[in-house]
Amino acid sequence: MLKPSDFIPKNYSQTIEKGSFQWSAPSNIALVKYWGKMENQIPANPSISFTLKNCKTITKLTFSKIERSPNFSFDLLFEGKPKESFRPKIQNFLERVEVYLPFLKDYHFTIDTQNTFPHSSGIASSASGMAALAVNFMSLEKQLNPQMTAEYFNRKASFLARLGSGSACRSVKGKVVIWGNHEETENSSDLFGFEFAELHSNFENYQDTILLVDKGEKQVSSTVGHDLMNNHPFAENRFEQAHQNLSKIKNILKIGDVNEFVKLVESEALTLHAMMMTSMPYFILMKPNTLEIINKIWKFRELTSISVCFTLDAGANVHVLYPENVCEEVLQFIKNELVVHCQNEQYICDEIGSGTQLIIDN
């Protein structure tokens, strides 16, 4: 079992003066939800997610050697323009990971980042953003330590990404990723995500159309929401349920049972929001149009027997999940009946992806 100290390098065999890397990292959508965390971004329960393909962050990291500084030296650009409002989050991330990346104060960094999805679309960019930054830093560490294995690279990148945003550890590698200790899952860990490799062909190229119900800022941040699980009256039952549901969905994904997938995924989504509505203070992140969409999905599924379902993150937007072989029928249904409930009729077509991708290496 790996420990955090296993990710602290003992020494580096090479030096490098300057260079740049560029990586893309996708967002992900949890099927079994993680809600509640402990210190150092340790999840209160395990989770499993689909990695997305089109909704991603592209980050270029340029670096040059400087005299070692007592402070982190970095410039931050978003879509090519300075973005000072992001600076505190990056500063906090660097402070958390410094012990694992001891070279950070030996370089000046320019971090230039952009998203492929609309800004303020209501899609959480922290997962994709932190995953992209983590693999960039790992590319630099691999230059300093060329003997690094691919497995170590991915595990440490996931470990680092988690320290920036918990769910970011599920965006590094794999179509379906498990994060969190789970007694029925060999090699599961609270420290990093790892790929669930037994995916049935029924779930290959699974589609996720994201309906943008509300593009505004959430009323309650995810950090505050997670913290409210600390004294939640139903917390322990929820954590146990998540363990049980992870066992169930692993089997569902392995045998290709799309109908059971629908039941479990929708139940998990509603349970997540039930935890929000029963915390103290309580809050509701769904909007009236969220409920309209859910009811129309249920009605469409009943009338057509097409295995389309929904899931939700901690917000009002709806992820419509369905197999690739019913894509035409479901997209027509979405256009005819669901987009009217989206803000400015906006939606994003996505599908299962495979994780981070290196774009520039020099």
Considering the domain architecture, whether residues 260 and 325 belong to the same structural domain is answered as yes
Where does the pLDDT of residue 121 fall: very low under 50, low under 70, confident under 90, or very high at 90 and above? Answer: low
Range of the domain at 308: 206-351
Considering the domain architecture, whether residues 131 and 84 belong to the same structural domain is answered as yes
DSSP strand E in the chain: where? 18-32, 37-38, 42-43, 47-65, 73-78, 81-82, 107-115, 176-179, 193-195, 207-211, 309-312, 318-322, 347-351, 357-361
Considering the domain architecture, whether residues 152 and 289 belong to the same structural domain is answered as no
Share of the chain above pLDDT 90, in %: 90
One-letter amino acid of 29: I
Considering the domain architecture, whether residues 189 and 61 belong to the same structural domain is answered as yes
Structurally, the chain folds into a number of domains equal to 2
Where does the pLDDT of residue 120 fall: very low under 50, low under 70, confident under 90, or very high at 90 and above? Answer: low
Q: Are 234 and 278 in contact (CB under 8 A)?
A: yes
Please tell me what DSSP assigns to residue 147.
T
Write out pLDDT tens, residues 136-191: 999 999 999 999 999 999 999 999 999 999 999 999 999 999 999 999 999 899 99
Can you give the pLDDT at residue 119? 65
Q: Are 215 and 347 in contact (CB under 8 A)?
A: no
List strands edge to edge, sheet with 207-211. 309-312, 318-322, 207-211, 347-351
In this model, does residue 282 exceed pLDDT 90? Answer: yes
Considering the domain architecture, whether residues 227 and 155 belong to the same structural domain is answered as no
Q: Is the peptide bond before 281 cis (omega within 30 degrees of 0)?
A: yes
- Kindly report the backbone phi and psi dihedral angles of residue 81, in degrees, each rounded to the nearest multiple of 5, phi listed first: -120, 145
Considering the domain architecture, whether residues 139 and 276 belong to the same structural domain is answered as no
Considering the domain architecture, whether residues 234 and 155 belong to the same structural domain is answered as no
In this model, does residue 256 exceed pLDDT 70? Answer: yes
Where does the pLDDT of residue 360 fall: very low under 50, low under 70, confident under 90, or very high at 90 and above? Answer: confident
Considering the domain architecture, whether residues 164 and 233 belong to the same structural domain is answered as no
Considering the domain architecture, whether residues 194 and 215 belong to the same structural domain is answered as no
Crossing angle, helix 235-255 and helix 258-277, to 10 degrees?
Answer: 160
Can you give the pLDDT at residue 89? 92
Contacts of 279-285 with CB under 8 Å at 24 or more apart are 279/225, 279/228, 279/229, 279/232, 280/228, 280/231, 280/232, 281/228, 283/219, 283/220, 283/225, 285/218, 285/219, 285/220, 285/314, 285/315, 285/316
Considering the domain architecture, whether residues 156 and 190 belong to the same structural domain is answered as yes
Paired tokens of 32: 């079994």
| Domain CATH code at residue 148 | 3.30.230.10
End-to-end CA distance of the chain: 34
Q: Are 170 and 34 in contact (CB under 8 A)?
A: no
Q: Are 301 and 307 in contact (CB under 8 A)?
A: yes
Considering the domain architecture, whether residues 184 and 256 belong to the same structural domain is answered as no
| Domain CATH code at residue 265 | 3.30.70.890
Considering the domain architecture, whether residues 176 and 236 belong to the same structural domain is answered as no
Q: Are 339 and 211 in contact (CB under 8 A)?
A: yes
Q: What is the pTM of this model?
A: 0.96
